Structures are given as C-alpha cells and as structure tokens.
C-alpha cells in the first residue's frame, strides 16, 4: 500500500476512498501530501457509480478493499467489470484482496483474469489473515509489469525480513492451517 502511494501520488493529487474501509489508504495518501475524496457506502457496499463520478484530472488511485474490511460486503465480478470499463486507463484501481481466501461466493471476481483486459489494476493479497501472520508484513501484489517496475523504483532494498520469509514458506507447506 505504501509503495503504491509513493510511486503514484504526489502532493495535491487525489485518492478516492470508500468510507468506511481499511484505514491505511488514508494514511499512505496523506503521507504523500495527497488529497482524499471520501465516497460513502451505499447499502453497506462501495458505491461504484459515485466513485466514478468523483474521478477527475487529479485522481491517481482508487482504493477498493474487496471484500471490504471491516464491513464484509463485496463487489461481484460483473459489477466490477462494468466499473473498470469506465475508469480511465491512467487511474490505478487497487483491489486489496486481504480476505480473498475467505470469499467463496461464486460471483466473487477472478481479479487476476481481469488483468488481461484492465492493465490499470493492482491486486494485493497477504499472508496476514489466511495464515495468521499479521504483523510480519508479508503480502504480495499482482499487476502489469509496467506498474510493477514503478513500484520497484520506490521499494527499499530489503522490505520483507527473513523471519517473515521463513514463516511464509512454512505456511505454504502447511495448508491445513488455513
């Protein structure tokens, strides 16, 4: 989340953030001197029409937590696709899927597949929830290689410590823990 803000948000540029959602999008935007467009939820879900209407020349990143922490609702694939086709290609849509492994509804988006058509999405997942490794800060992003190259420019040389790496490998070997 920090790398995305560092790479793509400069002073005065904007994030669109649903209200209510995970708190870090606000924090990483403000750290870069960015501004926030808050978009209230509608019937407990992210209001994609309203988000679309807030996009302007200064919009850099739309932060979407799907399923939404701490609400628990999610946006389905058809609705998400319909939204993505209207978002300008130079606006990044972050799909924070920290709870991806818990979303077993069939209509939940196959976001990796969506990358084929929508290069401006960055998918984020983490070992924190599904493997109970919160605080080790071990997550990963899936995105178009061009966007990844920008993230590497602002990444510290060692941003995942050895303890986290060892724990991650151990959890991958222990699928029963899920």
Ligand X SMILES: *Cc1c(COP(=O)(O)O)cnc(C)c1O
The site for ligand X (CB under 6 A) is made up of 22, 65, 69, 96, 98, 126, 128-129, 134, 137-139
* Residue closer to ligand X, measured from CB, 55 or 71: 71
* Residue closer to ligand X, measured from CB, 114 or 133: 133
* Residue closer to ligand X, measured from CB, 134 or 163: 134
Q: How far is the CB of 22 from ligand X (least distance, A)?
A: 4
List phi, psi (to 5°) of 137: 55, 55
List phi, psi (to 5°) of 159: -110, 0
Q: How far is the CB of 105 from ligand X (least distance, A)?
A: 17
Which of 122, 70, 65 has its CA nearest to residue 98?
65
Which of 72, 83, 80 has its CA nearest to residue 45?
72
* Residue closer to ligand X, measured from CB, 69 or 76: 69
Q: How far is the CB of 30 from ligand X (least distance, A)?
A: 17
CA 52 to chain centre: 17
The helix or strand, by DSSP H or E, that contains position 50, with its residue range, turns out to be helix 48-53
Q: How far is the CB of 112 from ligand X (least distance, A)?
A: 18
Contacts of 98 (CB under 8 A, 6+ apart): 22, 65, 69, 124, 125, 126, 128, 129, 139
* Residue closer to ligand X, measured from CB, 109 or 139: 139
Q: How far is the CB of 81 from ligand X (least distance, A)?
A: 21
């Amino acid at each position: 989340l920090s790398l995305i803000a560092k790479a793509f948000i400069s002073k005065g540029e904007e994030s669109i953030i649903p209200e209510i959602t995970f708190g870090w999008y606000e924090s990483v935007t403000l750290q870069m001197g960015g501004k926030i467009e808050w978009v209230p939820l509608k019937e407990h879900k992210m209001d994609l029409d309203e988000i679309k209407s807030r996009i302007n020349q200064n919009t850099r990143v739309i932060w979407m937590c799907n399923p939404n922490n701490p609400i628990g609702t999610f946006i389905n694939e058809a609705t998400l696709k319909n939204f993505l086709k209207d978002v300008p290609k130079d606006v990044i849509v972050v799909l924070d899927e920290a709870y991806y492994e818990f979303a077993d509804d069939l209509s939940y988006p196959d976001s990796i597949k969506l990358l084929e058509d929508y290069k401006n999405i960055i998918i984020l997942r983490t070992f924190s929830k599904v493997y109970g490794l919160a605080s080790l800060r071990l997550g990963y992003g899936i995105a178009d290689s061009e966007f990844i190259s920008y993230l590497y420019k602002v990444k510290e040389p060692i941003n995942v410590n050895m303890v986290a790496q060892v724990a991650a490998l151990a959890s991958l070997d222990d699928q029963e823990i899920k």
